[in-house]
Structure 1
Amino acid sequence: MSRSAYFPRNDQQEQATPHHHLQHRISRRSISKHQNADIHRPPRMEILSQILNPEWEIGSSETEDVDMGPIKSYFADPDAITDVSSLQELLFLSTLNEDYAMTAEDYDAQFAKFTHYHETIQQARVFLKPLFDYLLNFEKELTKLSAEMEFLQKRSNALNEQIEDKKQIDLKLTPIVNDLAIPPEIVRSLVNDDITSKWIENLRFISEKKELYEKYANEYGEFKSLVELRKVLELMTLKAVERVRDFIIRKIKLLRVNGISSQVVQKDLLDVREIYPFLQQHNTNLAQELRQAYVYTMRWYYHQSFVKYLYSLERLNTVHVDKIALLGSNDDEYVNNSGFGFLNIYSHSGTASTSSSLSTSKGNGKHTLYQNDYLNLGKRGQIISLEDQTVIIGQIAETSQMTYWLETGFRNFNLALLDNVSVEYLFLSEFFQLSNFEQVNDLFKIVFQPTLSVGINYTRSLIAETYDVYGVLICIRLSQALEYELQHRRVPVLEDYFNLQMITLWPKFQKIIDANCDSMRKVISKSSSFFSSAHSSMGSNSSMPLALTQQFGKLLSGLLNLTTNTVFETEQNEPLSSSIIRLRNDFESVLTKISNNLGKDSRKKELFLYNNYFLILTILNEIEGKLADPEREHFQTLVKAYEPRLPK
């Protein structure tokens, strides 16, 4: 730094006092002269060192509170300046330019300035001393803290190693502990909770623990904790068996309560279906006894229920069809009081007014149903393919005032039986875990044998004294449809029952066909006496179709219509096909014998046969079906054979 920065230059003073006329000049003589002037005075270097004491010597006892008085008096003495001999003074003066000389006033000014700086520095030192103390203390604390952190680091490393070791141990031991441990909440749930689908988890827990214990026993042997846990698990198993036994017994007892639905009880059991395999695994004898108790309870339940339902069905107003429905039956009004008659009115629909009546009974009540209503099949066949699978309720059956045919009771009883059998079959298979059909079939026979006997006896009572050929055939078709429904539901256990129903119904159907054939043959004897006494008065009426023909046409139409409502394709060798052929042959034989009583006029005989066959053909033209086609072709051939020739 130049001297001008510390000592401002005065040009006038420079001109007045050139550097070679300096008032005070330092010389070796003056330095040596004043070197020993005052032996008691401290060396100037020491004084200057005290004044310019560095900041890092703050707090030194030697430099605190320096007395500036001697220094001021020393520099104020002009002789002292000329006697300066310190190296610092010499170094300082050597930095000045040669053309510059300082006066005493300049030195005083600079000294005052430095004194001010010194005081400022001293004040700063006073303020900085606490910071300096704090930093010194901080350094000590930092050193201490560093040592502590180093200790903690070593301790942390040791703990990390221990944690890692424990972690490895946990990885190996935790699965084993979890496999062996039995939580207390599982035990409480097993003992106290209700048996529901959630409670079944306790049984799964017991089964899983047994498998795990066997695994560890084979792998590590019977160690002490495993033996103790086995005892706890055995107690839990015994308690579970006890609770399952009580639950099943309670449900079986409910089935004997009046008005309880078996499906409600079965649903409760199916919701916890895993209890029976668990019981069978841990106590086979008890499981078999409970199954037997259930089977015989349901045997009683179904028998009682269907007996009550059958009692209600027997209260229905069922039409009783007797011999009056047979072809050519004796009815005075219908045969014009002679046992034989002609149709006075013929229409395309084949309707004719008759007053022959059938009786319906319910208790002591009597109802009338005309024979014409019976021969017209109408909508009776729709019951075979009825989509509504509901059955009539017992209370409604007992109080209903409507009139029903015999197939109504047959359908309701057997459809209700089918529904219950399906539900019971599925329950036996699912709850008792029976995959073998023979086992399920054996249990089914025990449960339903009395009920099936009731159904067969009911069918026999329905058809015992009836001549309702439609009703019997509809019952056969219903049996076939219900048997098909069994296959659709995959419940084969009831096939034998419906086969037995058809074995009962087909012979009855053929007997009614035989009765109709016999009744038609009786017309021949009536016609002989009728034509011999009234031939001359009949006139042209002798060629009109017989009332018997319309009866036969309606009966044949009804039987053929019932072949189109079957689920399965009707085979040609079915008893219905042979019965229709036999009935048709007897009818043609009767017509031929009757035509022989019309005299020797062949034209009149042919016209008579033509009109009767044409009536049958007209009725058959409205029918479609597998068996209707050959019958229609047969009567078309007869109509063409007897078609009257037009006169020339």
Structure 2
Amino acid sequence: MEETSEFLDEDGQLQNLEDEVVQEVLKTGTDLRQYSRQIEKELKQVENKSIQDYIKESENIASLHNQISSCDNILERMESMLLSFQSDLGSISSEILSLQRKSVSMSQQLSNRQGIRVQLSQFIDDMAVSEALIMGILESPVTEKEFHTQLTSLNHKINFVKEQSFKDARCCLDVKDILEKLKIKAVTKIRAHLLEQIYKFRKPMTNYQVPQNALLKFKFFFEFLLSNERSCAQEVCNEYVDTMSKIYYSYFKSYSSRLSKLQFEEAATKDDLMGIEETGPRGLFYKASLKHKSTVFTIGNRGDVLTTHLESPIIVPHAAQKNDGRYPYEALFRSEKYALLDNACREYLFLTEFFMVCGASALDLFNQIMGKTLNLLSKNLETFVQDCYDTIALFLCLHLILRYQMMCHKRAVPALDHYWDSLQSLIWPRFEYVFRLNIQSIKDCDPTKFSKEMGPHYVSIV
């Protein structure tokens, strides 16, 4: 029990019974004390041997110690360097953040300055008066491209300065005087040029389309006058209206008069109604009716004025007189109205483009030019209609009016609508009146008083 007590713990339990060596000792029945002393002896020997090994390796251990100490110093210095580097990195990071903030601020400032620069540059360009502008307005002839270019620039600058003046821009005072002088010079040159072009219309035998086309090339001139000097623009407009009004009136008065001389000498009268027949001698002042009375009631080729001859060239009076040409009234009417339509449409389109008018303003300006001429032609038609008994002529004239009115609409010219309506209002009542006379003459006729001709009567032919 004493031998085994050493293997008991404080609680009386065996220790290390599971150890293989202890189990082997217990099985062989070896004396544990002797075995313990043997073990201690062996441990002492191992310890002494280990000490001898340490003594032999002392120099290496010392060297290792020195090396470890050296490494420790190196690591200490590296630690110090890394701490310093970490501190430097923190400082650099703060500097980078500061530089980044400065970069953003400078970028914003640059963007603002560039935006201001563009605006200021444009503002200066719009405001400044260059030497090229001055020389172009003062020295260049109005027909040259340089004058037109500089005039466009001048017009822009004048409008820009006006706009800035309302904003109380002080720099406007620096250029206002010189722009005013350049404007006066430009207006003077433009006015003289436009009036000179208008006066060319007054030359005898002038094809007025040529000066009109020349004016259209410089339509910006009138726009400049209208924007900057309305009195001069009105003067030019009035001069043009007065000139063209006289030209159109003179031309159509002469043309209408010469056309009237080309009409057939024989014309239907009140005695050439369908139901009236000549039965014998009349009074002293009796005037014989048509020799070929059937022509009043037969359309024949007279209807060609509505088809093949509708847009044919107008009749040239002096050429027709040389050939002894004669025409029914509707042919003369077609020629006169086609000439009017062609001239009126061209004039209306010119007015809207050159004088920049539209709607009621364009119609008013057109009537100022063509009104006197239209009244003349209306009176001429009224004079013819009052004594006309030719229903076919009246009927064809009505259709000519309708066709020419549609032609005006296709050309986008409404200026003659009132004129065409007035012509219809002149012809329709007369046409209805003469038509009713013919109907009444047939109702009142006495067949027994007709001539005893064997051939068919013109009434039955119709």
Whether TM-score is above 0.5 comes out as yes
Q: Who is 2:348 aligned against? A: 425
Q: Quick one: distance in 2 between partners of 1:215 and 1:328?
A: 80
Q: What does residue range 216-365 of structure 1 map to in structure 2 within 5 Å?
A: 221-223=169-171, 227-318=173-264, 320-323=266-269, 325-331=272-278
Counterparts of 2:162 and 2:277, CA distance in 1: 88
The aligned length equals 341
Write the distance in 1 (CA, Å) between the matches of 2:123 and 2:223: 28
- 1:194-209 residue pairs with structure 2 within 5 A? 194-196=141-143, 198=145, 199-209=147-157
Q: Which runs of 5+ in 2 are unaligned?
A: 1-113, 282-287
Does the 8 Å contact 2:395/2:431 carry over to 1? yes
Structure index of larger Rg = 1
Give the residue type in structure 2 aligned to 1:246. A
Could you tell me which residue of structure 1 aligns to residue 406 of structure 2?
484
> 2:135 aligned with 1:188, yes or no?
yes
Equivalent pairs: percent with the same residue? 23
- Rate the CA distance shift 1:388–1:217 in 2: closer, same or farther, 3 A: closer
Q: Does 1:415 align with 2:338?
A: yes
Q: Tell me the amino acid that sits aligned with residue 191 of structure 1.
A: L
Q: CA deviation at 1:308?
A: 1.2
Q: Distance in 1 between matches of 2:182 and 2:444?
A: 84
Inter-CA distance 218–520: structure 2 relative to 1 (3 Å threshold)? closer
The residue aligned with 1:519 is 441
Q: Which residue does 1:165 correspond to in 2? A: none
Per-residue deviation, 1:455: 0.9
Instruction: Note the residue ranges of structure 1 that are not aligned, 5 or more in a row.
Output: 1-167, 339-356, 360-368, 555-648
Offset at 1:215?
7.2
Matches within 5 A, 1:103-122: none
Letter in 2 for 1:195: V
Using the size of structure 1 for normalisation, the TM-score is 0.47
Q: Distance in 2 between matches of 1:213 and 1:521?
A: 83
1:373 shift after superposition: 4.4
**Deviations, residues 546-582 of structure 1 (Å, cap 9, x unaligned):** 626524xx2xxxxxxxxxxxxxxxxxxxxxxxxxxxx
Instruction: Confirm or deny: 8 A CA contact 2:385 2:426 kept in the other structure.
Output: no
Q: Tell me if the contact between 1:317 and 1:401 (Cα under 8 Å) persists in the aligned partners.
A: no
Distance 2:450 2:428 in 1: 37
Equivalent position SS for 2:374: helix
1:246 deviation in Å? 0.8
In 1, the alpha carbon distance for the partners of 2:129 and 2:423 equals 59
1:175/1:496 Cα in 2 relative to 1: closer, same or farther (>3 Å)? closer
387 and 327 in structure 1: CA distance in 2 versus 1, 3 angstrom threshold: closer
Q: Distance in 2 between matches of 1:530 and 1:211?
A: 85
Alignment of 1:598-637 (within 5 A): none
**Residue 547 of structure 1 pairs with residue 457 of structure 2:** yes
For residue 600 of structure 1, what is the aligned residue in structure 2? none
Paired with 1:461 and 1:423, the residues of 2 have a C-alpha distance of 28
Distance 1:213 1:375, change over 3 A: closer
Q: Secondary structure of the residue that 1:274 maps to in structure 2?
A: helix
Query: Relative to 1, partners in 2 of residues 1:548 and 1:393: Cα closer, same or farther, differing over 3 Å?
Result: closer
* Residues 1:221 and 1:448: Cα distance change in structure 2 (over 3 Å): closer
Alignment root-mean-square deviation, CA = 3.5
Work out the CA distance in 1 between the residues paired with 2:259 and 2:191: 39
Q: Report 1 or 2 for greater relative contact order, CA contacts < 8 Å, sequence distance ≥ 6.
A: 2
Post-superposition offset of 1:201: 2.0
Distance 2:127 2:435 in 1: 79
CA separation of 1:441 and 1:179: change in aligned 2, threshold 3 A: closer
The match for 2:374 is 452
TM-score for the superposition, normalised by structure 2? 0.65
Q: Indicate the structure with greater helix content.
A: 2
Equivalence for 1:467: 389
Q: Contact between 1:296 and 1:447, CA under 8 Å: does it hold in 2?
A: yes
Contact 2:366 2:415 in 1 (8 A): yes
> 2:65 corresponds to which residue?
none
* 1:70-93 Cα shifts (integer Å, max 9, x gaps): xxxxxxxxxxxxxxxxxxxxxxxx
Deviation at 1:451, TM superposition (A): 0.6
Quote the Cα distance in structure 2 between the aligned partners of 1:307 and 1:250.
26
Distance in 1 between the 2:163 and 2:362 partners?
A: 36
